[in-house]
Amino acid sequence: MGDRAGTAVETAVIAEDLTVREKIALLVGADFWSTSGVTREGVEIVEPLQLADGPHGVRKQPTEGDHLGIGNAIPATCFPPAVTLGSTWDRGMARRVGAALGAEAAARDVDVLLGPGVNIKRSPLGGRNFEYFSEDPVLAGDLAAEVIAGIQEQGVAASLKHFAVNNQETDRMRISADVDERALREVYLEAFRRAIEGGRPWTVMSSYNKVNGEFVAESRALLTDVLRGEWGFDGAVVSDWGGVSDRTASLKAGLDLQMPGPAIAGREDLERALESGEIDELDLDASVRRILALTERTRRSDVATVPDDDAHHRLARDAAERGMVLLRNDPVDDGPVLPLDPSATGVLIVGELARSPRLQGSGSSQVVPTRRESPLDELRARFDEEVAFEPGYSLEDHDDALADAACAAATRATTVVLFLGLPENAESEGYDRPHLDLPAAQVELAQRLLANHSRVVIVLQNGAPVVLSSWADTAPAIVEMWLAGQAGGSAITRVLTGDANPSGRLAETIPLRLEDTSAFATFPGEAGHVRHGEGVFVGYRHHDLIDGPVGFPFGHGLSYTAFEYGNVAVRDAGEKFRVTATITNTGDRFGAEVVQLYVGVPDGDVRRAPRELKAFARVELDSGESANVEFALERRDFAYWDVRGGKWKVDGGRVSVWLGSSSRDLRSHTVLDVEPDVDTAALDQWASLSEALRHPVVGPRLRDGVSTGAYFPMSEDLERMAGDMPLRLIADFEGMLFDRAQLAGLLDRQA
């Protein structure tokens, strides 16, 4: 875009200096990818902003491109999508990828990069899950914060999306996500809060959907009260493309920029509202100031640094390596199948996806890569001897001849590396997956090879979990490659041969069956509504609550080395608890462990998940090396959202803290005594007996009245039986405990 600082009039011009027409122009897009600037007498007073898709690569459309630019974008590095980056559990890697995205955006004169996406993977069927990090808000929010910071270090605005509760593609432009307030706060908003407070994005994109019957783009509660009032967001809210149905209502709610342009109806809507008095010029000014601040924040030098495509390709490879998850590596004969020896003979590669890999998902995030690698080419280049190949299946149709040829070739092989995965049209923006199955031809091929060969390595290419239960138990080695971006070929080669030690961890549970998932009964909804009936029990929270079997648990991932946890200690540091441990690499090669800290709070007023992720750290160690890790737990980490009080609340008690390598591989356990919050909120006559007994003022009065005989005696059985009864109803039971006059005395002067 050139040097904004060199325009004839400073772009820091305050909103009051603009005409009403100029103000309105700034609040609606000019065309599909640009905002409207302000020009007076041929001089640009405010330059327009250029926006582009970019969760995992800059997708900038040339002037002559197609409408969406999906098939005709300027080439850019295709980094691994969020599904893979999330599996790195690596804050530093997320920051580096963000910085590279920002640098490539700046070099292409892009001011706002539309990403990262931080929505929760409520169901593994979500068609856009490859664009999101995790089923857990701590992991998703913390990694997104690093991507945001990296992008914005380059003078490019990140656009955190899609705010909020955008967890499916079915009916996405009008569906109402009906979710209770506790789940909304603890799960769906928490990822955004952590990303906003940690990364300070300059823009947030509102989602298409409704939340509890109200379009997010028109929700003042979400866009102003929570986003700005509670979390301190000081940037601009941008609509999703076509995500505004009422421009006046969205302006009043806090949405600043409607995209795309020319948005003639949106301009006219604001003009009419201004004339009728529904809004006034001050309403425009608030949003205009935020757009001007965004323009100021994205000022850059007129000499843009040309990104190093080779360096970014290597970075894409490193990110892909760290995101690949070794799911299984069982012994066969004299040891595990992996890593493969590059000097070995008789290696057979099977699977069309080895020759024609999927780099990314489909839809608006689709990047035109600067280069492409295939696993087949990279494996052949790495091995000393010739590596045979059989496609095994077609990505278009069922071909038994291909499977027969692969099985025949396998009889002559010492090791078979079988690439399986989902076809391109299985995962895309715009629609959800109907099932979790791999294509039938691939499953049949896997079963045939596994039945007749002892050394089979399965490599999976997919943007979301697939069901493995029909054959995974007989596969000695499984690597979840995910969608690995443009350098996935060399990345998977390095992982398979041991040049890189696998260190990815699952950011989402791999279920045994779709029916086992928490949203099975309600996803994707009906009649314009999707009920989040599982509440806070999303993903591993649900599986661990019911203690049900899973394919592979949240956080799982193996290594070619081993790690030991020792010297675990917890100390009370006043406002925080400090948890420390020593991690030792007890194996014979360099590797990385992801230490995961889970907290389990006993059920109090609400039901809690058995454990929830609250912190994590990636530790890289040479053979025999040790390192100390330290985590800080704040009171917020023990809290839940109290719907009645409208705030975070700690019930206290004996809280469990685990360190482990997954939600089910827990290496240490410690118990903390956490003081409860003192709830001084006044009770009324409709409070329950249990609530009254816990109240710091009413509780002692009530027990004192019982002990002195002023009230009817209260046995343990009566307290249990009547605990949920409102005080008013107890008073109306003659001789039960107290009468109305005594109740009035109980409730008097609580403050």
Catalytic residue list: 240
Instruction: Scan for tokens 């999303």, then name that residue.
Output: 538
Q: Which residues are paired to 569 by β-bridges? A: 580
- Residue ranges of E strands in 375-528: 388-390, 415-421, 456-461, 477-480
Q: Which of 406, 418, 508 is nearest to 459 (CA)?
A: 418
Contact 587, 562 (CB under 8 A): yes
In this structure, the chain runs to a length of 751
Q: Which of 56, 118, 176 is nearest to 526 (CA)?
A: 176
The tokens describing 435, both together, are 């099932």
Contact 569, 545 (CB under 8 A): no
Q: In a 10 Å sphere around its CB, with 0-12 CB exposed, 13-18 middle and 19+ buried, how is residue 653 labelled?
A: middle
End-to-end CA distance of the chain: 60
C-alpha to C-alpha distances, 543 to 122, 359, 515, nearest whole angstrom: 13, 30, 12
Asked if omega into 260 is within 30° of 0 (cis), the reply is yes
Distance of alpha carbon 103 from the chain centroid: 23
Q: 485-506: string of b/e by CB count within 10 Å (b at 16+)? A: bbbbbbbbbbbbbeebbbbbbb
User: In sequence order, what DSSP letters do the residues of 499-545 get, joined into one string?
Assistant: SS------SS-B-S-GGGSTTTTTTT-BTTEEE-TTTT--THHHHHH
Relative to beta strand 612-621, strand 591-600 is antiparallel
The tokens describing 66, both together, are 């197609």
Relative to beta strand 347-350, strand 388-390 is parallel
